Amino acid sequence: MIMNLDQLKDSLVGSVHNDSEFLSHYSADKSYLDPVLPSLVIVPECEADIEYLLAYANANNQPVTVRGGGSGKSGGAIPELNGIVVSFEKMTAISTVDIANRCVVVQPGAILDDIKHAVEEQGLWYPIDPSSSDWCTIGGNVAENAGGANALKYGVTGDYILAVSGFFGNGKPFSFGRKCHKDVAGYDIKSLLIGSEGTLGIITSITLKLIPKPRFSQSFWCSFSSLQAICQFFQTLSVSSYQLSAAECIQPACLAAVASYLDEDISFLNGPALLCRYESDSQEGLDQFRDVLLEQCNVFDASCHMESDDLYWLVRRSISDALGDRYRHKFSEDITVPSGAVKDYLDYIPTLAIKGTVIVCYGHLGDGNIHTNILNESLSEEAWGVAKRSMIDQIMAYAVELGGTLTGEHGIGLTKKDYMDSYFSEYELAILKGVKRVFDPNTILNPSKLF
Ligand SMILES: Cc1cc2nc3c(=O)[nH]c(=O)nc-3n(C[C@H](O)[C@H](O)[C@H](O)COP(=O)(O)OP(=O)(O)OC[C@H]3O[C@@H](n4cnc5c(N)ncnc54)[C@H](O)[C@@H]3O)c2cc1C
């Protein structure tokens, strides 16, 4: 039984840190919430380290927050008061791709882009593409059920998880799923762990399903007179026989921010724009789609640019940071509404901006996951706090009224937990809390998050 810190240190292969300079690097994520200094950071190097750490945390009733890349936007990786942070920076292994079973086994700290490159070298593809792919970890992706622009055609992280293993908050090991592409044995606990935001278990190994990479791909930057025209254009394309893999809307305010943020000439890109991508297994298929797209652009009086694929996506990936750079404060929501309600959402939400602030919507138009950025232009710190809260309340309420949800990608964490009772009934919330008690009876894992 591990009761004290010396016993824990003696048991671990990995390291334990408690000097404040080191701890400060683990105190925040990208939620723009205030940092919290943990009391310890543990860097495990093997699965047994997690077992020891959980024994220590349960015995001492000390909260534990798992940390991947710290790119989360809902505060999930922010430490608890007097809490322990477990950082997976040394558990980053990526197995050889299992070609016969079309899968790869990875440790939670592996950076997403490293996994994507490793499997592409072996001729297969992992399609999930969050804009943070160069620094988020696969463990964080599973815990948040991350998606990206590709979700329109390929789905989200959870659609590619064949198996997960790790330890529940009570310290018991689990292993759900196999290398099988179909598995309906028993309750689907694997899906319960996906998106559980570090509140049920610590995930130590993940088996990812891989697919063939499409052979031909092209992106198109189409500029329109308004976001409403973009919505109509997208609806028209949606009922054609062509399935876009990505359909992102980009506002002029995003372009203005990116233009001063990036060291690139993007003056030839205009907005409001629909950035879309089409993939095909033949050049002929791609050519056919391009003809249809250009024909529709003519109908909608839109212009289409298609020569700078990489630059379009660099611009798209840079919007979040560029807006953060351009405005005094930025707060980002990621509600999702049903596709048919996107137009109403985009019409109404910017009108909620309080004087001295702006609301800029951009992102995954195709699946209704609209990144809604509340930006402070000129309010004082105090006025901003009040205005921000009022605007978020209204955004959440309107999304739910339209039949939407509080979050499509970033999770509930700390930032949205106050809105859970507008989305779930009292009884449904009690079920969620009951599930947590089963796997984490001492409420060790991320106790202040989710509800
Ligand atoms: C510029 C930018 C762009 C982004 N774009 C997207 C996007 O397109 N799509 C999208 O979905 N998200 C996006 N995000 C949000 C973020 O990158 C994702 O939520 C990502 O999955 C978080 O991964 P991480 O490794 O950084 O996790 P962290 O931020 O470290 O942690 C996130 C949560 O996961 C938990 N966790 C981490 N590892 C484990 C584990 N091994 N076991 C159990 N729990 C764990 C943590 O406790 C925490 O609750 C973006 C963020 C930024 C800053």
pLDDT digits (tens, 9 = 90+) for 134-175: 999 999 999 999 999 999 999 999 999 999 999 999 999 999
User: 285 CA to middle of ligand 1, Å?
Assistant: 35
pLDDT at 57: 97
User: 291 CA to middle of ligand 1, Å?
Assistant: 38
- At 240, the pLDDT band (50, 70, 90 cuts) reads confident
CA distance 182 to 50: 29
Mean pLDDT rounded to a whole number for the chain: 96
Q: Which residues touch 11 (CB under 8 Å, ≥6 apart)?
A: 2, 49, 52
Return the DSSP state at 15. Answer: E
Phi, psi of 309 (to 5 degrees): -40, -55
Q: Which atom of ligand 1 is nearest to the CA of 137?
A: 25
Pocket test for ligand 1, best of 26, 131, 323 (most atoms within 8 A of CB): 131
Instruction: Provide the CA 177 distance to its chain's centre, in angstroms.
Output: 23
Instruction: Provide the CA 168 distance to its chain's centre, in angstroms.
Output: 22
| Ligand 1 neighbours by CB, cut-off 6 Å | 29-30, 65-73, 76-77, 88, 108, 130-132, 136-137, 139-141, 143-144, 146-148, 197-198, 202-203, 320-321, 409-410, 446
Q: Please name each of the domains of the chain with its CATH number.
A: 5-87 (3.30.43.10), 103-209 (3.30.465.10), 214-319 (3.30.70.2190), 327-440 (3.30.70.2740)
pLDDT digits (tens, 9 = 90+) for 425-448: 999 999 999 999 999 999 999 999
pLDDT digits (tens, 9 = 90+) for 36-49: 999 999 999 999 99
Return the residue whose CA atom lies nearest to atom 2 of ligand 1. 132
Return the residue whose CA atom lies nearest to atom 34 of ligand 1. 140
pLDDT at 271: 85
Tokens 């976001």 belong to: 227
| 97-103 average pLDDT score | 97
Return the residue whose CA atom lies nearest to atom 6 of ligand 1. 130
pLDDT at 239: 86
pLDDT digits (tens, 9 = 90+) for 277-290: 999 999 999 999 99
| 193-215 average pLDDT score | 97
- Kindly tell me if the per-residue pLDDT of 2 is higher than 90: no
pLDDT at 3: 79
pTM summary value: 0.96
Cα dist. 229→149, 177, 268, 302 in Å?
Answer: 20, 45, 20, 9
